[in-house]
Amino acid sequence: MTDSRIRTVAVIGCGIGRSHIADGYRRHPDKFRVLALCDIDERRAAKLADEFFIRRITRSFDEVLRMDDIEIVDICTPPALHVAQILAALAAGKEVICEKPLAGSVAEVDHVIAAEAEAMGRVMPIFQYRFGNGVQKAKRIIDAGIAGRPYLATVETAWKRTPEYYETPWRGRLGTELGGILLTHAIHSHDLLTYLMGPVTTAFAQTATRVNPVEVEDCAVASLVMRSGALASLAATLGSQKEISRLRLCFEHVTFETSQAPYSPGDDPWDIIAASREAENRIAEELASHPFVPSRFEGLMGAYHAALATGCALPATLADARRSLELVTALYHSAATGTVASMPIEAGHPLYGGWRPTPD
Ligand SMILES: NC(=O)c1ccc[n+]([C@@H]2O[C@H](COP(=O)([O-])OP(=O)(O)OC[C@H]3O[C@@H](n4cnc5c(N)ncnc54)[C@H](O)[C@@H]3O)[C@@H](O)[C@H]2O)c1
């Protein structure tokens, strides 16, 4: 049975939380109503409340959890707070959305997975880059078996961050941001790689801090071997004057290249180049019934509502968050040891509990 009623939301943290509202919930007035905002910075919450005519604001996360009319708690706070807030929201019987990175280790994700299994609600990690018409066309072609065997991918995340960006105190510090470009920025493009080309088995990475005087890495390169046998190279920097995100994915029968839009590489136009007339015809046939998929938070929240309504799988799951953080862990492990790191990362792996050095 489909339950397509309007869902009520509280947004916790009014930074990127604003985009969740403006580009997500507000685009679906028949699906969501944001009833409450929570931020320890009351002025920031009040400003957003004025902008979107939201009546209820609070500084207290616990108060939100006591609001019986809130179904979805959307966590947009700094990374180090995520796990405790997710666990508390699940314990309060809420549906939970949480910004990336979901956690600071694979062990923490496993803890959240165990808590979700006992809870009424489910947890959707944010991976909004999966939404956009280009990436969804590619996904459909690949899932239909038209692309064939994956050969090789190149993934570039070339963004720009200046000292002003690091004036927000939690950024740039291992204790609060939990990691650098691999965890905070390139996590989106790297998720797109595995979303479209499958899991990674080994990684060799090198990282550096060269752009800003921060504790975390702001440049990284890596070479990967995918479970399929395909190869991938990753390059990420926060020191690019022109910002781009770009994935080029070469399969047996089709090569895909994203747009270069840094923050919406999933949008059209994508280059989708067939290797033969036959592949071209199969793509045309497959895409004939392809519905337009809106970009980023609009697409993600639309799919999220559909999943809540039908009870089917969420558009992004804790398994996706685990896979993403396994790759991050392997990349940090490789960079720290100068060795090739293998996945999956399970209990017993030296970095299962996290990549940050433990204080002496
Ligand atoms: N998906 C994306 O593309 C994307 C983009 C930007 C940021 N993010 C992620 O979103 C999260 C927030 O980033 P941001 O850029 O919005 O940071 P931000 O610092 O601009 O905003 C975070 C807000 O959370 C508030 N806050 C802190 N502790 C709180 C608490 N205990 N209860 C309630 N509110 C609290 C802060 O006052 C602040 O207003 C981070 O995990 C970041 O990595 C994701």
| pLDDT tens digits along 177-232 | 999 999 999 999 999 999 999 999 999 999 999 999 999 999 999 999 999 999 99
Contact 128, 300 (CB under 8 A): yes
Rounded CA-CA distance 73/61 in Å is 10
Expressed in angstroms and rounded, the spacing between residue 165 Cα and the centre of ligand 1 is 13
| 176 contacts 82 by C-beta, under 8 angstroms | no
Render 43-74 in DSSP notation, one character per residue.
HHHHHHHHHHT--EEES-HHHHHT-TT--EEE
Atom 17 in ligand 1: residue holding the nearest Cα:
15
CA distance 105 to 341: 16
Q: Is the dihedral of CA 190, 191, 196, 202 positive or negative?
A: positive
Q: Tell me the pLDDT tens digit for each residue of 87-110.
A: 999 999 999 999 999 999 999 999
Give the model confidence (pLDDT) of 151-184 as tens digits.
999 999 999 999 999 999 999 999 999 999 999 9
Burial 328-348 (b: 16+ CB within 10 A, else e): bbbbbbbbeeeebbebebeee
Residues 6 or more apart whose CB falls under 8 angstroms from that of 148 comprise 251, 252, 253, 254
Task: Answer whether 129's CB lies under 8 Å from 266's CB.
Answer: yes
Nearest atom in ligand 1 to the alpha carbon of residue 127 is 1
- Listed in sequence order, the residues at least 6 apart from 106 whose beta carbon sits closer than 8 Å to its beta carbon are 322, 325, 326, 329, 345, 346, 349, 351, 352
Please state, in angstroms and rounded to a whole number, the distance separating the CA atoms of residues 146 and 337.
39
Task: Return the C-alpha torsion angle 159, 197, 252, 227, nearest 10.
Answer: 120
With a pLDDT cut of 70, the percent of the chain lying above it is 99
Average pLDDT in the 11-22 region? 98
Q: Is the pLDDT of residue 303 over 70?
A: yes
* Helix, strand or coil, per DSSP, at residue 266: coil
Helix (H, G, I), strand (E, B) or coil at 29: coil
Closest CA to 257 of 242, 235, 272: 272
* Most distant pair of Cα atoms in the chain: their distance: 62
| Helix spans in the chain (H) | 17-19, 42-52, 61-65, 82-91, 106-118, 133-143, 174-177, 181-184, 187-197, 277-287, 296-310, 318-337
What is the DSSP code (8-state) at residue 104?
S
Atom of ligand 1 minimally distant from the CA of 85? 31
107-132 per-position pLDDT tens digit: 999 999 999 999 999 999 999 999 99
Measured in Å, residue 116 CA sits from the centre of ligand 1 at 23
The pair of three-digit structure tokens given for residue 273, joined into one six-digit string:
């180049």
For ligand 1, residues with CB inside 6 Å are 12-16, 38-41, 44, 61, 76-79, 81, 99-100, 126, 128, 168, 184
